[in-house]
Structure 1
Amino acid sequence: MTVTDEREKALLDSVPTGLLIDGQWRDASSGKTFDVKDPATGQVIASLQDANSDDAMAALDAACAAQAAWARTPAKERADILRRAYDMINERAEDFALLMTLEMGKPLAEARGEVAYGNGFLRWFSEEAVRHYGRTLIMPEGALRMQVHHKPVGPCLLITPWNFPLAMATRKVGPAVAAGCTMVLKAAKLTPLTTQLFAQVMQEAGLPKGVLNVVSGSSASAISGPIMQDPRLRKVSFTGSTPVGVKLMKDAADNVLRTSMELGGNAPLIVFEDADLDKAVDGAFAAKLRNMGEACTAANRFLVHESVVEEFTQRFVAKLEALKPLRGTDPESTLGPIVDEGARDDIHELVTRAVEAGGEILTGGEKIEGDGYFYAPTALKVQKGNPILQEEIFGPVAPIVTFSTEQEAIEMANDTVYGLASYVFTEDAARMYRVAEQIDFGILGANVGVVSNPAAPFGGVKQSGLGREGGAEGIEEYTTVQYVGIPDPFAGQKA
């Protein structure tokens, strides 16, 4: 490890590097480790135990053994654990922010924002845990009374991505704990450290052994494969790419597992001719550059009315050119690195193909030489049909294309297999509702560029996935419904 900053070193030394199985941090049975790198420098900052299939099954064994007792735990106890964890993360907010910056690259200001957002799921689901209502009524015929109960679905496999290391873990663990489910959590190999620290906090908050088990490793399939094949598993929740999600859904079919899939995105950002351009430019910048564009909700296609495209583009490009791509710990950093070299190469290939298809680079369009995996913030002017309009970019690249009519904008927005986030800028309320009715996306930001909130249902349609995370809907993903029919004591009696 080459970290020289004393605070960074002390924090990294405090993070568990083992596997959390049945309440104990232990070494991998493989006897191997895998490295975690700082994408701003390319240097190794930690080495973690490398889980294999034996470790995965041990984690599932622990989750299954703990399930019955955990399901019977009163909702208030589960809520109290979540609230204690929320308070503890608040107290260590700077540690979590710095750790995310070190392993993922985002500037500290953004990392602090993720701590607030991600931790909000623990608070939200601590409150939902005790308000997960069933219902009761007399059947229409009057012979039976119906009771509807919500029960925990059972042991869950939770698979999180690398781009939001805390929020993606809390968004899954929070509702699972609230509902009474045990878990095996597999973090992405690029950014597992935040998950390790989060799991330690959950232990300290009083989560019983076996309820949350954490196994990270260099091979995702070595962990998820055997767990998915075991009939004791009852649910899988995955956030990541659509191709991987499709494979997991096929595997889930063998045991008829409950699935929650938050997959790829290709978010359109539509700027109509009547838009407030101050709102539109600021919203577009936030929607594109949050997390360096490495977000499934990131604005991926900028559809701008032909009458305002020149002014919008000029102002947006100026904001891009004012960014400072620096290591996230630098106080002046406003743009961090891409997560690894391969991801940066993929972004550059998309830009290159866009130019070959007739696109014009307005700013950026190149890798930044030097340490780490930085990519210059980029804007391109493209025409309909350019291949970049069909791809999830996952980087600080904004393709801008024009439209003439409202219906054309809607058709262009819907011209994708994805359907997660979308953004619309207009001062016409009637138009906003017309677009919302016709646009095929699970999320729509109306004159805003950031809409994610723990109280809101997050999820998409088409190949962007199934189910919702957050909101009142989030806990439903971790429960099953049981109907109990009871003879009505007054059946047959007349007043």
Structure 2
Amino acid sequence: MSALPDGILTPRLYIGGTWRDADEGETFDVLDPADESVLATVADGTADDAVAALDAAVAAQRDWARTAPRERGEILRAAYERITERTDDFARLISLEMGKPLKEAAGEVAYGAEFLRWFAEEAVRIHGRWMDAPAGGSRLLTVKKPVGPCLLITPWNFPIAMATRKIGPAIAAGCTMVVKPAALTPLTTLAVAQVFEEVGLPAGVLNVVTSTRSGEVSSTLMADERLRKVSFTGSTPVGKKLVEQSSEQLQRLSMELGGNAPFIVFEDADVDAAVEGAVLAKMRNMGEACTAANRFLVHESVAADFSAALAERMGGMRVGRGQDDGVEVGPLVQAKAVEEIDQLVTDAVHDGARVLTGGAVPDGPGYFYPPTVLTDVPHESAIATTEIFGPVAPISTFTTEDEAVERANATEYGLASYVFTRDIERTIRMAERLDYGMVGINTGLLSNPAAPFGGVKQSGFGREGGFEGIEEYLETTYVGIAVGG
């Protein structure tokens, strides 16, 4: 068994300020994806546990909403500092439970903690407005209020960042919450809850229910009229089910769903910079990211140079256990992920694609897949239309800008996109023509706590981070005031 960091984790439910076992006493194992050993045994919460967590959130809501914004901000700031101080411990925990290399895990800790600092500063900047009515005779006042108890459902791929990106604005806005982390990687969220307990977050504001019964937990809570908001990051099919379930109680929703990000390299691009950007956009988190570059559309005049350089760069990356020195590519999160990616690659080769590097599942143990580059990928191949969620870069070519735009937009998804060009007018055109919530120009890294993260079309709605992020947790009350004379 891999040793967990000392003192950073309580693998039980956190409800109403108390660490407790699941209602039925059941548990589940969290595995190390590098060797399939058991990292920890965690409480397996039931629907009754979820209701108890919502009870705690509802009981705490009124007092928390009345808490001074500065006090809410100071708690977030203290949590930011505590997590930053324990970067090494959190990085090791993330690396163990989901596989990413320690250096990258440390980067996630910094990124995740920054959401707490950002929203600590936003807590004191919540404001409405005051104006004269256009016709005179009254004043128009708007007041911002917390939306109320929230259900925050987080994915497995960024265990700390996806938690803090939701918890931060909820706390800042004055909302209480029930957090349901993914069963594959629940340990980091529990450690984050422990930090908030240490820095004095009142009992009941943050509740964490770990469970393998995701559908049961979410449907039970969403059927409860006391729950006022749901924020979900995950697959589009699951997101659609949650949207349906929310209709009965008309809950507020934030949906960050699937992606199929195009990475477009024009003939005037700096090819070396494009390759480095491609590695960053593709290989971050072993490709297990909704923002990962999924389709590489490269102008025919530079395709050969780009493909060869990318294959050399990705083929030279060291694969291994995330905690080992020099490792750049860790394991995927589970065996199913390896099987699905290998099938996509096999089908692409059958369709006519060529493998420049990688493309074969190594012997176990662990859920590893090598960095893989495919070229001559047919447009109709499944790998060109499916979210890969792994370290595979399929490359195809285009001739004109219009062709690149048409193919980039030919997907039901619209989360992230990437463009490499040195033409400023083309930069503006592409930013306007691409049907995506986020467009990266000459960069392979889009995510930033100060920026609004989110997509369009089947990639969901709502924004996390930036000035927009806290608005997702606020309601607006309009007050009309008659003024005589």
When normalised by structure 2's length, the TM-score is 0.99
Q: Distance in 2 between matches of 1:294 and 1:115?
A: 17
User: What do residues 185-237 of structure 1 show as CA deviations (whole Å, max 9, x unaligned)?
Assistant: 00000000000000000111111000000001111012111101001000000
Q: Distance in 2 between matches of 1:30 and 1:216?
A: 13
User: What do residues 409-433 of structure 1 show as CA deviations (whole Å, max 9, x unaligned)?
Assistant: 0001001000000000000010011
Corresponding residue to 1:193 among 182, 187, 205: 187
Task: Please say if 1:397 is aligned against 2:397.
Answer: no
SS at match of 1:473: helix
> Which runs of 5 or more structure 1 residues have no equivalent in the other structure?
none
Corresponding residue to 1:462 among 457, 477, 480: 457
User: What do residues 19-51 of structure 1 show as CA deviations (whole Å, max 9, x unaligned)?
Assistant: 000000000012110000000111111000100
> Which runs of 5 or more structure 2 residues have no equivalent in the other structure?
none
Q: Distance in 2 between matches of 1:248 and 1:352?
A: 33
Q: Distance in 2 between matches of 1:135 and 1:178?
A: 19
User: What do residues 297-339 of structure 1 show as CA deviations (whole Å, max 9, x unaligned)?
Assistant: 0000000000000000010000011111110100110100000
- Tell me which residue corresponds to 1:328: 322
Corresponding residue to 1:206 among 177, 200, 207: 200
Q: Is the 8 A contact 2:5 2:92 kept in 1?
A: no
Q: Distance in 2 between matches of 1:445 and 1:438?
A: 13
Give matches, 1:3-152, under 5 Å. Answer: 3=2, 8-11=3-6, 14-152=8-146
Corresponding residue to 1:426 among 421, 430, 448: 421
Q: Is the 8 A contact 2:4 2:93 kept in 1?
A: no
Q: Is the 8 A contact 2:359 2:370 kept in 1?
A: yes
Corresponding residue to 2:216 among 211, 214, 222: 222
Q: Is the 8 A contact 2:166 2:464 kept in 1?
A: yes
Task: Please say if 1:280 is aligned against 2:264.
Answer: no
- Tell me which residue corresponds to 2:467: 472
Corresponding residue to 2:291 among 275, 284, 297: 297
Q: Is the 8 A contact 2:351 2:381 kept in 1?
A: yes
Q: Distance in 2 between matches of 1:9 and 1:55?
A: 26
- Tell me which residue corresponds to 2:249: 255
Q: Distance in 2 between matches of 1:384 and 1:321?
A: 24
Q: Please report how far the alpha carbon of residue 370 of structure 1 lies from its aligned counterpart in structure 2 after TM superposition.
A: 2.2
Comparing 294-303 and 350-359, the one that deviates more: 350-359
Q: Please report how far the alpha carbon of residue 14 of structure 1 lies from its aligned counterpart in structure 2 after TM superposition.
A: 4.2
Task: Please say if 1:337 is aligned against 2:335.
Answer: no
1:83–1:28 CA distance, 2 compared to 1 (3 A)? same
Q: Please report how far the alpha carbon of residue 389 of structure 1 lies from its aligned counterpart in structure 2 after TM superposition.
A: 0.9
Task: Please say if 1:450 is aligned against 2:445.
Answer: yes
User: What do residues 123-151 of structure 1 show as CA deviations (whole Å, max 9, x unaligned)?
Assistant: 00000000012110010011110111110
User: What do residues 429-481 of structure 1 show as CA deviations (whole Å, max 9, x unaligned)?
Assistant: 10011111110000011000001100000000000001000000000000101
Matched to 1:130, the amino acid is V
Q: Please report how far the alpha carbon of residue 10 of structure 1 lies from its aligned counterpart in structure 2 after TM superposition.
A: 4.6
Matched to 1:432, the amino acid is T
When normalised by structure 1's length, the TM-score is 0.97
Task: Please say if 1:177 is aligned against 2:171.
Answer: yes
Q: Is the 8 A contact 1:327 1:336 kept in 2?
A: yes
User: What do residues 344-371 of structure 1 show as CA deviations (whole Å, max 9, x unaligned)?
Assistant: 1111111112122222222111112122
Q: Distance in 2 between matches of 1:415 and 1:55?
A: 43
Corresponding residue to 2:152 among 143, 146, 158: 158
Q: Is the 8 A contact 2:8 2:194 kept in 1?
A: no
Give matches, 1:228-243, under 5 Å. Answer: 228-243=222-237
Q: Is the 8 A contact 2:5 2:93 kept in 1?
A: no
Matched to 2:17, the amino acid is G
Task: Please say if 1:413 is aligned against 2:408.
Answer: yes
Q: Is the 8 A contact 2:414 2:457 kept in 1?
A: yes
- Tell me which residue corresponds to 1:384: 379
Q: Distance in 2 between matches of 1:363 and 1:321?
A: 6
Q: Distance in 2 between matches of 1:143 and 1:357?
A: 72
Aligned residues: 484
Q: Please report how far the alpha carbon of residue 390 of structure 1 lies from its aligned counterpart in structure 2 after TM superposition.
A: 0.7
Q: Distance in 2 between matches of 1:190 and 1:257?
A: 27
User: What do residues 349-400 of structure 1 show as CA deviations (whole Å, max 9, x unaligned)?
Assistant: 1111212222222211111212210001111110222221110000000100
Percent identity of the aligned residues? Answer: 60
